[in-house]
Amino acid sequence: MYKVLLADDERIILDGISSMIDWAQHRTVLVGLAQNGIDAYEQIVRHAPDIVISDIRMPGMDGLELVAKTHASHPRTRFIILSGFGEFDYANRAMQYGVKHYLLKPTNETRIAQALEEIVAELDRESSREAFLQNMKLRLQKMMPHVKEQVLKEFVTNKTYGSRDWDDYRSLFQFEFDVRVRLILFQIEGEAEYEHLFAVKNIAEDILEKTLLGTTIGSHVLVLIEDPNDPDPLYRRLGDIRATFAQYYKMDVTIALSSPGEIVRARSLYQETLQCLNYRFYLDEGGIITSKDTSSSAQPSQGTLDFDEDRLLMPVRSGHLEEAEQALDSFFDALKRAQLDIGMTKSYAIQLFIALTRLGDPQRMNEHYKQIPQLVEMNTLQAMKDFLGQTVRDIAKRNYEQNVVKHTSIVRKVLDIIDQQLGNANLSLNFVASEMLYMNADYLGKLFKKETGEKFSNYVMKARMKRATEMIAEQPDIKIFELAERLGFGDNPQYFSQVFKKQIGCTPSEYMKQSDSSAF
C-alpha cells in the first residue's frame, strides 16, 4: 500500500476528498491531513508519504514551495496539485520538479482516482526497476569472487595469457597489487570431496590473512599471495594450515610453495608447484615442498632396479609372513633410493603385485587384476607399499593355513556345513551341533576354535562376507537386499551392510562402485 498525504486550507475539501475516495481500492492508505504548507511538510518528514495531494495556495507555505522543499528532501514523493482556473500558469511551474498531475478545482472522485492510478502504476514500475537493479547488483557481488577465481585459474593454466591480459584483468577487476608473488598449491591426502577443498581454501585464506586470489583446480587448492620479505613466518602459517585442517577433518595436506616471481609468470610458478607435488611421490604424505627440495632429483634415474623377486615370493609361497614383510621393506627401500621415473617405479610395483597374486587363490585372480588401476592411480610410494603389504599378508596367511593347519575330520565337516548353509538364517553353533552333528555345542565350539583359531560365529561372518564379495564380482548389479537374503541376514539389509563394512572396510555400495571403476 502506498501512503497518501492530503493538504488543503479548506476543511470542507479535506473532508470531502478524504471521504469520497476508496483509498484501499487504489492500493493506497491516507496517512494524514494538513491545512497549511508548514504542517504538510512536517507530516511529510514524519510519514514519508509516497503521494501528496496538495492545494496550490495555502497559508504559511504555498503548494509550489512545498513541492520544491519536498523535492529536495524526499525526491521520490509524487504530487497531485489542486488549483483554481486562474492559477494554471502558476501550477505549471511545478512541472520543473517532476509534477505531472494537476487538477482544476472543483474536481471529482474520478479525476483524483485516475491520477492516483497513474502514479501508483508509475511507482510500481519504479519499484520493479529498482528491485531488478538491486537484484542484479547483489548477484554481481555474489558472482565476483567466483569470477576472480576463474581469472586466476585461466591465467595459470592457459599458456596464451601474457602481461597484456593481466593488465586488462587488473583494470577490469580493480586488482590493486603489483608486487612479487608466490603460488601455494594444496593437495589433500586421501579421498577428498569438494567440502574438503572448500575448507582448505577458507582455512588458508584465514591463516594467511592477506591472500590476493584463491581458487580450486581439479583436486587442488591454489592460493596467490604477496611474497613476504621473511619466509619463516610463512612456513609457520603453512604448518598451522595443515594442523588446523587435520584437527577438523583428520586428513593431511601436502603443500607446494613456488619461488617468488612477477604475476605475469604465474603460469610458470604454477608449473613449479605441480613439479613439487610430483616429487611428493617419493616422500611421506604431508609436508611442505619447495623447488629446493626437488633440485637434487630434477632428473629422475632411467636405470633398472636391483632386486630379486624370489626373495619376496618364496616366503609368501611358504607362508612365512615376517620374512615376507622384511623382503617387501627391502624392495621399497630400493625403489626409494633409485628414484626412477615415476612411471617406471609403478611398473615395478605392478609387476611384483601380479607375481604375488599368482601365489594366491586362483579364483580371486580376476578380482586382483581389477585392483591394478587402483595401484596405477596411487600418488605416493608409501600408498603403494601399504597396498602391496596387505596383499602379502593376505596371501601369506592363506598359504600358511593351507600348508600348516590340519583340520580334524569333525572340523572339516563343520566347515563343509558352513559352506553349504551360509544362506541359512538359523546357522549357528547350536544348530550345527544339535541338528546336524548331534554333539555338545560347547565342546564343538572349543574344538572349532582350537583347530581354526576362530570362534564359530566370527568364522561364519567372515565366510559370509567373503561370499558376498564373490557374488558382487559375479553379479555387479546385484541388490544389497538380495545379498542379505541369500547370505542368512533375512530381511535386515542394514545389519548386513554394517557387518560388511566392519569386515571389508567399506559399505557394499562403495565396494560395488570400486569394482565398477576398476573394471575400466
pLDDT for res 520: 46
Residue 476 has pLDDT above 80, yes or no: yes
pLDDT for res 297: 47
Q: In what order do the strands lie in the sheet with 287-290?
A: 211-217, 220-226, 181-188, 253-257, 287-290
Which tens digit of pLDDT belongs to each residue from 259-286? 998 877 888 888 888 888 877 777 655 6
Cα 486 to Cα 474: distance, rounded to the nearest angstrom: 14
Higher pLDDT, 76 or 518: 76
pTM: 0.43
Closest by CA to 222, choosing from 235, 211, 206, is 211
pLDDT for res 298: 44
Residue 326 has pLDDT above 50, yes or no: yes
In degrees and rounded to multiples of 5, residue 31 shows phi and psi of: -105, -10
Average pLDDT over residues 27-41: 93
Cα 119 to Cα 124: distance, rounded to the nearest angstrom: 8
Which tens digit of pLDDT belongs to each residue from 114-129? 999 999 999 998 888 8
**Kind and range of the H or E run holding 213:** strand 211-217
C-alpha cell of residue 260: 617468488
Contact 60, 33 (CB under 8 A): no
Residue 211 has pLDDT above 70, yes or no: yes
